[in-house]
Amino acid sequence: MNLKRTLRVETLLVALLVSVTTLVLMQILLNLHLAGHSLGDEILHINAASTQSANAVTSVVTYFRGLDTLGEVSILFLSIFGVALHMPRGSKNLFSYHNTLLYIGVSILFPLMLLFGVYVILHGHLSPGGGFQGGVIIAGAFLLRFLTYGDHYELKERVVSLSESLSGAGFIVLGLLGLLVGDRIFTQILPLGTLGELLSGGVIELIYIFVGLKVSAEISLLAEHFVKAHNV
Amino acid sequence: MIDFLILSILLSLLVASIMIVFSEDLSHSVITYMGFGLGSTLLYFLFSAPDVALTEAVIGAGISSTVYLVALLQTSVHES
């Protein structure tokens, strides 16, 4: 990088402006105290009674705003569909060199990342994280394998597409069951359990398992399509 | 103490973003972008948003930079 040649006075001025703005925003953010009764307080107040989920963010995502999550999941599905349509999977991996350091590191890291992803998905209603986060961690583990093993590693197409479509269908069926049994889509249809235990939160846990399966399958498929793309 | 930490992370993010834009080799930009994702992960965590930090750690530092790297390898266009 050659700063002397590329930097001009205008860019320096822009950089100065950006840094000053950042500092001012920081000052505002650090001194911000939200006063009074807000929507967040209200949600925290009714969360324990209606979901028995220790993580209020989770209950907002899956229970209070389940329909939005359905929209997000369908947007993700559409984007993967577009990638698969435009970039057909070739057999040649772009990263097909052998690197011993990467190989040993990934063979240690891969099972740990899988385990951590499953933990984050299953404990979505108790601790930070949830279906999307855990699914992305699992997909990252598979991405590391694609980068390491080169041509010798590929996903089983049938297993991935089956888990992706079944979990998507299960997610929607769960929402429609809420409409059928309860009063609205994505409402509680299961016993709530007690706050803080693994089997609590009712339908939240099931929704997050479905979302985690779907996201992990989709993002690993996306990574494989990118890494093994045909030469344009 | 925590204010100083946040301030230093923000400043390093600023430096990293300037390096991303102005570096001559695009692969250096991608590597710096990974570092930027790592810094913003720390920032999200310090602002008590661990959910977003978990996502940013994998998406920002891992998957999106791989996508950029693949695009770089496929097009093999370098700035002169």
Interchain contact A208–B (C-beta under 8 A): no
Above 70 in pLDDT, residue A67?
yes
How large is the average pLDDT for residues A86-102?
A: 81
Closest CA to B59 of A221, A154, A133: A133
d(CA A207, CA A124): 10
Q: What count of CB pairs under 8 Å joins A to B?
A: 72
ipTM for the predicted complex comes to 0.85
Whether B76 shows a pLDDT value over 80: the answer reads no
Q: How far is CA B60 from CA A25, A124, A153, B35, in A?
A: 23, 21, 24, 9
Whether chain A has a CB inside 8 Å of the CB on B5: the answer is: no
The predicted structure's pLDDT at residue B80: 47
pLDDT above 90: residue A84: no
Q: Is the pLDDT of residue B12 over 90?
A: yes
Query: Which of A 167-186 lie inside 8 A of B, CB atoms?
Result: none
pLDDT (0 to 100) of residue A3: 54
Q: Hey, is A89 helix, strand or coil?
A: strand
Q: What is the pLDDT of residues B15-56, one digit of tens each?
A: 999 999 999 888 899 999 999 999 999 999 999 888 899 999
Mean pLDDT of A179-188: 83
Verify whether the Cβ–Cβ distance A22 to B3 is below 8 Å. Answer: no
A219 touches chain B (CB under 8 A): yes
Q: Are A208 and A129 in contact (CB under 8 A)?
A: no
Q: Measured between alpha carbons, how far is A174 from A166 in angstroms, rounded to an integer?
A: 12
Q: Which of B7, B59, B70 is the closest to A226 by Cβ?
A: B70
Task: Check whether B79 has a pLDDT greater than 60.
Answer: no
Interface test with B, best of A2, A58, A136, A220 (most B CBs within 10 A): A136
Out of A6, A222, A231, the one facing B22 most closely (by C-beta) is A6
Q: Determine, for residues A2 and B10 on separate chains, whether the beta-carbon distance falls below 8 Å.
A: no
| Cβ of residue B76 closer than 8 Å to a chain A Cβ | no
Q: What percent of chain A has pLDDT over 90?
A: 30
Does residue A38 or residue A187 have the better pLDDT?
A187
CB pair distance less than 8 Å for B58 and A140: yes
**For residue A99, is pLDDT > 50?**
yes
- Residue ranges of the domains in chain A? 33-227
Contact A136 B28 (CB under 8 A): no
What pLDDT band is residue B75 in, cutting at 50, 70 and 90? Answer: confident
